Structure 1
């Protein structure tokens, strides 16, 4: 049973706009949830984990890239509703601006089908999560 389906509360998640040489690390979801959508690497914060530890872990798990989170670049709320209007998923996502430290992206096939460095103006041609271009622009401005 998926504990994130039809939750009785929102889940706290983190993501990172990892910047390297004017490009941002973008992943394409490959799992059952969000399949085919381009977004930032990230995931749910675990109990007892700080936000920065969570974003470092999630990026490493999904892409094998080491990062340095610098500051928050914004947030997003993702609420999906079923045909009856009931919230089937609810996430509050804190998006970090982060610097690349080391590693080349290698997608975790369980969750990610693609991971690549992209120029911000390439995002307009991709099917992305809502507000992705704005978060990336904010992160680049803060770094």
Structure 2
């Protein structure tokens, strides 16, 4: 069933690094519920992209972050069984760092949140393209 408002939604996603580990959250809601991804969500009216990135990480994990470098762009178009587009998102993907001792606490629409080493990503069901964005955000933060 198509969205009642058939226009692309803008969202943010954040690859948060703590040393050599990256933050992932287990999503609770649709789409991709019970799948792991970067923290993120929708841009609110009048909100800047970087403010949305900071807010979403804080809401989902309680962490304060420092954004690094220029964001990346990722487009997600989901089709129904009949091939018709049911969701269309344009995601602005940020790289960021968290303090050395920072520990996430899952909140908002995150079931769980944890820092992992990038090579552990194969142990989790993840959103499409996450492995690539882990590598790309790591390159941004250094």
Q: Normalised by the size of structure 2, how large is the TM-score? A: 0.89
RMSD across aligned positions (CA):
1.8
Instruction: Give the deviation of 1:71 after TM superposition.
Output: 2.1
Is 1:118 the counterpart of 2:116? The answer is: yes
Report SS of the residue matched to 1:66.
coil
Structure 2: state its 5+ residue gaps: none
Instruction: Give the deviation of 1:6 after TM superposition.
Output: 4.7
Distance in 1 (alpha carbons) for counterparts of 2:127 and 2:37: 6
Structure 1: state its 5+ residue gaps: none
Distance in 2 (alpha carbons) for counterparts of 1:6 and 1:132: 28
2:104 aligned partner: 105
Matched pairs, number: 139
1:12 and 1:92 in contact (8 A); partners too? yes
Deviations, residues 51-97 of structure 1 (Å, cap 9, x unaligned): 10000001100111110111235222111111222211111111111
Report SS of the residue matched to 2:87.
strand
Distance in 1 (alpha carbons) for counterparts of 2:120 and 2:71: 19
1:80 and 1:87 in contact (8 A); partners too? yes
Report SS of the residue matched to 1:56.
helix
Query: 1:72/1:5 Cα in 2 relative to 1: closer, same or farther (>3 Å)?
Result: farther
2:75 aligned partner: 77
Report SS of the residue matched to 2:133.
helix
1:6 and 1:87 in contact (8 A); partners too? no
1:129 aligned partner: 127
